[in-house]
Amino acid sequence: MANLIQPHGSDRLNPLYVQDTAERQKLSQEAPSLNSVLVSSATAGNAVMLGAGYFTPLNGFMNKADALSVGSRMHTVDGLFWPTPVMNLVAEAPDVKVGDRIALRDPNVDGSPVLAIQQVDAIETFTSSELEQLAQQVYGTTDAQHPGVAEFLAQGSVAISGAVQVLNYSYFETEFPDTFRTATDIRDSISKMGWNRVVAFQTRNPMHRAHEELCRMAMERLDADGLVIHMLLGKLKPGDIPAPVRDASIRKMIELYFPANSALITGYGFDMLYAGPREALLHAVFRQNMGATHFIIGRDHAGVGDYYEPFEAQEIFDQIPAGALKIEMFMADHTAYSKKLDKVVMMREAPDHTKEDFILLSGTAVREMLGKGEAPPPEFSRPEVAEILMKYYQAQG
């Protein structure tokens, strides 16, 4: 049996999904009699992550003091290291009172079924300047053009805090039955595989040759037993490739180009924050919770546009307290195919190269090629992966 890494801030996982079937049915039957709140997509994602154990050791949604402390100091009032607020923010809650139990309804599923039951410990209002300050601290900007900031500020200013009991995993379990996995599921898989050194790779995009080779490089250099590809299955900004297409292309790549039983293809139910450095820290927290010992942090990790410096998401790990995380980082540079060396390399490890020595294609150029039915060069993208992506882009017209 593998000797798994300890979860964050605890000696055991704290999944808030109600495992007991009878108890879950009882709560589901009680839900219609409770006051209900239609939550934001971000809150629904938080509930799924709490339910799945990824947000161990949290017991529910943060209150105002904890959220502000996390924003300014990256730890809760009690001293738990945590990089981003986990809140249930609403525009208003006129019928909700402290001490109530409320039913949280899911905005992402038809009919808005109940996703979780929440105990109401506090109902607190943020001023607009407090929310702007939080946006600045978490996203590094208050620019409403930033997709994460826009989503955050659109939720409302009233925070309902308290413990949650999660009844289902929203649409993730039904739409991605082969890919969505809880932190418990992944720990169980790692244990069954007998892996001790486990590398996690975060993706919200299909994986091209550079990503594939980066994973291989990390596994070799860290002498890892296995790789967990952990893809985001929630909402993205317009123009990003939808999860089913990404899932299919990654599966094809692993099937054809990785040794059997060397990689797990998994996903998690959360909306992308695009919070760059702070999101990189959050990614590390929940990768530790799912049992990974190492996590690849690439160039502009979790970034968007020009809001972050290329290596800001790596540098932030030098600014957190020693021992805040048990998981270790594998800091990666931009990877690209070297025509000189006839293989994918980290660009910083090829100081004798000029730009012309690499095969470099912008995302826009790749999308245009795929849309025209042209496969990118095989050094950039595996032909079988390109075929899946071409079909998608051509169907978009």
User: pLDDT tens across 133-182, in order?
Assistant: 999 999 999 999 999 999 999 999 999 999 999 999 999 999 999 999 99
Residue holding tokens 């038809």? 110
Query: Are 159 and 82 part of one and the same domain?
Result: yes
Residue 117 to residues 32, 192, 249, 305, 316: CA-CA distances in angstroms? Answer: 11, 33, 37, 37, 35
CB 333 within 8 A of CB 348: yes
pLDDT at 1: 54
CB 319 within 8 A of CB 223: no
Task: For residues 85-96, give the mean pLDDT.
Answer: 96
Torsional sign, CA 329, 334, 340, 342: positive
CB 157 within 8 A of CB 126: yes
- Is a pLDDT exceeding 80 seen at residue 397? no
Banded model confidence at residue 367, pLDDT cuts 50, 70, 90: confident
CB 139 within 8 A of CB 152: yes
Give catalytic status of residue 187 as yes or no.
no
Residues present in the chain in total: 397
Residue 153: which residues within 8 A CB-CB, separation 6 or more?
Answer: 131, 132, 135, 144
Query: Are 125 and 178 part of one and the same domain?
Result: no
Nearest Cα residue to 66 out of 54, 81, 55, 56: 81
pLDDT at 3: 85
Q: Where does a domain end: 170, 190, 209?
A: 170
pLDDT at 333: 92
Mean of pLDDT over the chain: 96
Query: Are 259 and 342 part of one and the same domain?
Result: yes
Query: Are 305 and 363 part of one and the same domain?
Result: yes
Give catalytic status of residue 216 as yes or no.
no
Which CATH number do you get for residue 166?
A: 3.10.400.10
Nearest Cα residue to 60 out of 116, 134, 126: 116
First-to-last alpha carbon distance for the chain, in angstroms, is 50
pLDDT at 361: 87
Query: Are 164 and 180 part of one and the same domain?
Result: no
* Helix residue spans in the chain (DSSP H): 21-30, 41-51, 64-73, 128-139, 147-154, 172-175, 183-193, 209-222, 243-257, 276-289, 312-315, 363-371, 383-395
Q: Where does a domain end: 170, 202, 223?
A: 170
Query: Are 204 and 74 part of one and the same domain?
Result: no
Distance (Å, rounded) from C-alpha 166 to C-alpha 71?
25
Report pTM. 0.96
Q: Where does a domain end: 106, 138, 170?
A: 170
Q: 209: which DSSP letter?
A: H
Does some domain include residue 36?
yes
Tell me which of 24, 204, 251, 367 is the catalytic residue. 204
pLDDT at 211: 94
Which CATH number do you get for residue 229?
A: 3.40.50.620
Query: Are 78 and 191 part of one and the same domain?
Result: no
Q: State pLDDT tens for residues 270-322.
A: 999 999 999 999 999 999 999 999 999 999 999 999 999 999 999 999 999 99
Percent of the chain residues topping a pLDDT of 70: 99
Tell me which of 14, 59, 196, 205 is the catalytic residue. 205
Task: For residues 185-199, give the mean pLDDT.
Answer: 97
Distance (Å, rounded) from C-alpha 333 to C-alpha 69?
32
Does some domain include residue 6?
no
Distance (Å, rounded) from C-alpha 265 to C-alpha 287?
14
Does some domain include residue 1?
no
Distance (Å, rounded) from C-alpha 182 to C-alpha 120?
25
Query: Are 178 and 291 part of one and the same domain?
Result: yes
Query: Are 124 and 179 part of one and the same domain?
Result: no
DSSP-based helix, strand, coil % in the chain, nearest 5: 35, 20, 45
Task: For residues 385-391, give the mean pLDDT.
Answer: 95
- What total number of domains does the chain contain? 2
Distance (Å, rounded) from C-alpha 266 to C-alpha 202?
10
Query: Are 180 and 307 part of one and the same domain?
Result: yes
Q: Is 257 exposed, middle or buried (0-12, 13-18, 19+ CB in 10 A)?
A: middle
Query: Are 324 and 204 part of one and the same domain?
Result: yes
Percent of the chain residues topping a pLDDT of 90: 92
pLDDT at 101: 98
Task: For residues 237-250, give the mean pLDDT.
Answer: 89
- DSSP secondary structure letters along 85-130: ----EES--TT--TT-EEEEEPTTSTT--EEEEEE--EEEE--HHH
Crossing angle of the two packed helices 147-154 and 128-139, in degrees rounded to 10? 150
Print the domain residue range for 126. Answer: 21-170
Query: Are 97 and 232 part of one and the same domain?
Result: no
Banded model confidence at residue 2, pLDDT cuts 50, 70, 90: low
Does some domain include residue 69?
yes
- DSSP secondary structure letters along 16-48: -B---HHHHHHHHHHGGGSEEEE--HHHHHHHH
Banded model confidence at residue 237, pLDDT cuts 50, 70, 90: confident
